[in-house]
Chains A and B, each alone.
Chain A
Amino acid sequence: MDILKYSIPKIAKMLREKKISSQELTSFYLNRIKNNKKLNAYITVLEDSLDIAKSIDNAGVKEKDPVLKGIPYSLKDNMLVKGIRTTCASKILENYTANYNSTVAQRLNDSGAVLLGKTNLDEFAMGSSNENSFFGPVINPWNHKHVPGGSSGGSAVSVSAGLSQFSYGTDTGGSVRLPACFNGIASIKPTYGRISRYGIIAFASSLDQVGPMARNIEDLAIAYDVVCGPDSKDQTCSIKAKESMYDFLSSDKASFEKSFSKKKIGIPRDMIKEGVSEDVLKSLDESINVLSKMGFDFVDVKIPNSKYALDVYYIIATGEASSNLSRYDGIHYGYRSKNNKDLDALYSYSRGEAFGDEVQRRIMLGTFVLSAGYYDAYFSKAAKVRTLIKNDFNNAFNDCDMILMPVSPVTAFKLGEKTSDPLTMYLSDVFTISVNLAALPSLGFPSGFDKTGLPVGMQLIGKHFDESSLFSAAKMIQEKKPEWFNNVAQEKDSVK
């Protein structure tokens, strides 16, 4: 029985037919996690998930039960699960136990899915390579010399290396789509406001959004369905009623004719001009080819202000982060320095000793852009340019249903390659950041492999709250290119 080849609907069916048990699934994944410790995908593994699986098996999985009942998954360790350590990959929260459930964890818990553990990330989700973790870097399972992408590197690896059926990351500037791309799996960064942020440790509140990751589009739709929808605990969460993407994909509404009004896809050629590797450009052409065979026309769209996106992002995101991270002060919970002879020392040493370099760099930058005398020149101006970027996208969508572009200019780079130069590292997110600034949904899908065998990925960007177009197109791509999906890293690069 090759569990790794099965989709969630297939496993759900097997559970109902008692061809497999939740305990078998859970111990299968727990064993794989144990055998792949080297990848460092998990910060905390929940051995007692087996007990939960057992109680699910004892109760039996019924026809009417939620589809995820009994199916194992993982969560990025910046999402709170009551009673479980939540570190955010930081020394400052090394021993912090969550005292409430995030809405995401609560909904997954209610669905009966089995949590295997909390996955590794860049500290406070700040990074593009997952090398900024207090618990050490995560390794790319396709090539152990390479990074898995960040900041949700652990979540992506847990899916691509077969260490969980599906997973969740958070995407502030590309942190779900980039590691998913580097790992050859599917992912979605939903419209800002689709998924409640309650209980998700904030990096940049106006940009953060939870995103699921999976090996195929059906699994992605199911993982998306279970967590999205209104939440009174998060006032920035949309009150739009949720519609099931899985049901939508199984209906005739998802047909090519019904899904797309213009049947046109925009390509922002201006953005993709420089610094993009040949392999990635080749893969983009291949995707265009697949989509045009399905009947899409292609138009050139312009997002002129996207050239400022990286600058705008590093002003807004760091400004918000500098404030969001103020609560980690050594007073109420978390790490407290022994060097605390007075209040100033307590603050300075606790934060100085427990935050990593990248986090400190961003706190300092953010404090600067918000400070009196600089606010107007930086934060306030960045907020205005952000509006211009939104407008650019809105204009572009006058001519197309979706926008297609690579997730990253390059495939997974080498461990240590960019750690000494933060600016080069920041460029990894050049294609993903605009989407967060514009609060748009973007679905990342795997589009094959480069010459060296590392995964390549593309993203489809949609209008606000138009996730359904993205799912619909992605499912068609999957039908045309099944070899791009359901890949598990160990089959190409054995991890024993």
Chain B
Amino acid sequence: MKYESVIGLEIHSQLSTKSKMFCSCSTSFGKKQNTNICPVCSAQPGSLPSVNGKAIEYAVKTALAFNCKINKNSIFARKNYFYPDLPKGYQISQYEEPLATFGWINITTKDNLEKKIGITRIHLEEDAGKNTHNYDGSLVDLNRAGVPLIEIVSEPDMRTPEEAVAYFKKIRTVLQYLEVCDCNMEEGNLRCDVNVSVMEKGQKVFGTKVEVKNVNSFRFVEKAINYEIERQIKIVEAGEKVQQETRLFDSSSNITKSMRKKEEANDYRYFPEPDLIPLVLDDSFIDHQSTTLPELPDKKKERFIKSFSLSNYDAAVLTSEKDISKYYEELVSLVGDAKSCSNWMQTEVLRALNEQKIEIVKFGMPPKQLSSLIKLVLSGEINQGTAKEVFNEMLATELSADQIIEKKGLKQISDPTAIEKIVEEVIKESPSQVEQYKSGKVALMGFLVGLVMKKSKGKANPAIVNELLKKKLN
């Protein structure tokens, strides 16, 4: 590949505060249009903003989690433009002196290497309302207007779409751990714009960047970037210049379309918001936020590797979402055997979540129930194969493991006399295989074990079956 792409992301995250950024209206989603509004967020004449302290806390926590420098003095600024979903005619944001700067996070690349991605800045702002258009006109809903947002701007440190997705996912994971954002992408809690440019490999000077707006899922980020890289390379190959512009991602056709050229860009006429005093944060406030930070994914992963003896990969999977790690830790505390819990999580639990297309918080089998199943396997009451059957049955019926085993008579047979009887039957019924085994084809042991298991309807304890077969045949 002759070309290299340079990618930066701007992520908008709605903070999960109960009230809006500059007034006390509720932030709850899905309410009847224009019911969560007041004089402030509907921009009545004379109304003034008051900063929501909780939003400041959340933003500072986020900035600390992303290793940012917190600016003890930051100022709010007005970003002026006309649009019906923006009732004041300006958005209160931060411009020249944002809340936090110079952060970074690590992502894991395709080759399983750690890569540091710089974070240019994190600033606070307010969301706009929502315009809807129908056959007889356009309507504005201001319920969302004034919901607190943080904008997380990355350095142009990513070189592939995969890295960009890994970064976006990592940001989401950390925000979830911090419990500052609901991170529900369908509800627009987390939104992403990408900046993409291409240059010849080894170049130091970046190509002209194009901003792609409205890329609001991991899949779309990958698709939009891939499309842009291809489009821009084609332009360069044809000896032309990439135009600096803003494009819009169309998720139905997976292409980007020009939205406005550089010359058509808005002049936002930023200036310090005169209705708000500078945001001054003292050391004790910042220290308090810092000491109350929860354990973050990287730390948790390290701990899982160390105290649960998990592989890097297993630990990464189990810490990829806060609620998964929570579920896992609870399971381990009930079962004790971290390794089998990890296996169960990664095979059965995650598979079931995938099939049901749900988050783990909505999973029908709490750790307590699963733990009793795993314990039955560990104590030899049932074997692994039976356990999977029971697991599926538990999901379908919501009965306990014991109830299902009882009902279906799945309890493992560990009584040597009972197993010996079946072993003898199998030996009798398979003379040729027994002969071959005895003449040195030891691999046939597995086949013979299988026959015993089949005959016992999967209930025989495999370890005892093995032992007895070996004893009889040697």
Report A's interface with B, CB cutoff 8 A: 78-80, 86, 88, 93, 96, 98-100, 102, 197-202, 204-206, 232-236, 319-320, 322-323, 325-329, 331-333, 343, 347, 367, 370-372, 375, 379
Contacts and interface: CB of A to CB of B under 8 A. Distances in A.
Contacts of A99: 39, 44
Interface in B133-154: 140
B46 A323 contact: no
Given A80-B45, A206-B274, A235-B276, A323 B50 contact: no
B87 interface: yes
Ranked 6 nearest A-B pairs via Cβ: A326-B89, A205-B274, A370-B269, A206-B274, A199-B46, A201-B45
A100 B45 contact: no
Nearest to B43: A327
15 contacts: A79-B46, A80-B44, A197-B46, A201-B46, A205-B275, A234-B48, A236-B48, A319-B271, A323-B269, A323-B271, A326-B90, A331-B84, A332-B87, A372-B269, A379-B271
B189 interface: no
A300 B113 CA distance: 74
A323 B267 contact: no
Given A326-B90, A331-B140, A236 B46 contact: no
Given A99-B39, A205-B275, A236-B277, A371 B47 contact: no
B80 A323 contact: yes
A317 B353 CA distance: 59
A367 B46 contact: no
A199 B48 CA distance: 8
B80 to A, nearest CB: 5
Nearest to A202: B46
Contacts of A202: 45-46, 275
A372 B79 CA distance: 12
A131 B39 CA distance: 30
B82 A347 contact: yes
Contacts of B89: 323, 325-327, 329
B126 to A, nearest CB: 14
Given A323-B80, A327-B89, A370-B80, A93 B271 contact: no
A329 B45 CA distance: 12
Contact of A323 (B48, B49, B78, B87): B78
Contact of A200 (B46, B80, B82): B46
Interface in B379-438: none
Nearest to B82: A347
Contact of B39 (A100, A325, A329): A100
B232 interface: no
Given A201-B45, A236-B48, A375-B269, 11 more contacts: A98-B44, A98-B45, A99-B44, A100-B47, A102-B46, A198-B46, A202-B275, A323-B89, A326-B89, A331-B87, A347-B82
A235 B271 contact: no
B277 A371 contact: no
A201 B48 CA distance: 10
Nearest to A102: B46
Contacts of A198: 46-48
Main SS class of interface, A: loop
Contacts of A86: 45
A326 B88 contact: yes
A151 to B, nearest CB: 16
A43 to B, nearest CB: 15
B51 A332 contact: no
B42 interface: yes
B276 A236 contact: yes
Contacts of A329: 82, 84, 89
Contact of A372 (B39, B78, B267): B267
A375 B43 CA distance: 25
A98 B84 CA distance: 21
A323 B90 contact: yes
Contacts of A200: 46
Interface of B: 39, 42-51, 78, 80, 82, 84, 87-90, 140, 267, 269-271, 274-277
B456 to A, nearest CB: 75
Contacts of A332: 42-43, 87, 140
B88 A327 contact: yes
Contacts of A100: 39, 44, 47
Contacts of B48: 197-198, 233-236
Contacts of A201: 45-46
A320 B89 CA distance: 12
A205 B272 CA distance: 11
Contacts of A197: 46, 48
Contact of B45 (A96, A322, A347, A372): A96
A349 to B, nearest CB: 13
Contacts of A371: 267, 269
Most buried by A among B39, B140, B274, B277: B274
Contacts of A331: 84, 87, 140
A98 B44 CA distance: 8
A235 B39 contact: no
A433 B51 CA distance: 30
Contacts of B49: 235
Given A198-B48, A327-B89, A236 B269 contact: no
B46 A327 contact: no
A264 to B, nearest CB: 33
B45 A235 contact: no
A466 to B, nearest CB: 21
Nearest to A366: B269
B357 to A, nearest CB: 39
Contacts of A347: 82
B46 A326 contact: no
Most buried by A among B50, B82, B88: B82
Contact of A80 (B46, B84, B267, B271): B46
Contacts of B277: 235-236
Contact of A233 (B43, B50, B78, B88): B50
Contacts of A333: 44
A80 to B, nearest CB: 5
Contacts of A93: 45
Nearest to B88: A327
Contacts of A233: 48, 50
Contacts of B276: 235-236
A205 B277 CA distance: 12
A69 B414 CA distance: 94
A327 B269 contact: no
Contacts of B88: 326-327
A379 B51 CA distance: 25
A367 B84 contact: no
Most buried by A among B43, B46, B82, B89: B46
A379 B42 CA distance: 28
Nearest to A373: B267
Contacts of B42: 332
A327 B47 CA distance: 11
A199 B50 contact: no
Given A232-B50, A235-B276, A326 B82 contact: yes
A322 B276 CA distance: 17
Contacts of B45: 80, 86, 88, 93, 96, 98, 201-202, 327-328
B87 A327 contact: yes
Nearest to B129: A332
A195 B126 CA distance: 27
Contacts of A375: 269-271
A199 B40 CA distance: 10
B51 A235 contact: yes
Contacts of A379: 271
Given A323-B89, A331-B140, A199 B271 contact: no
B393 to A, nearest CB: 58
Contacts of A370: 80, 269-271
A276 B48 CA distance: 39
B47 A367 contact: no
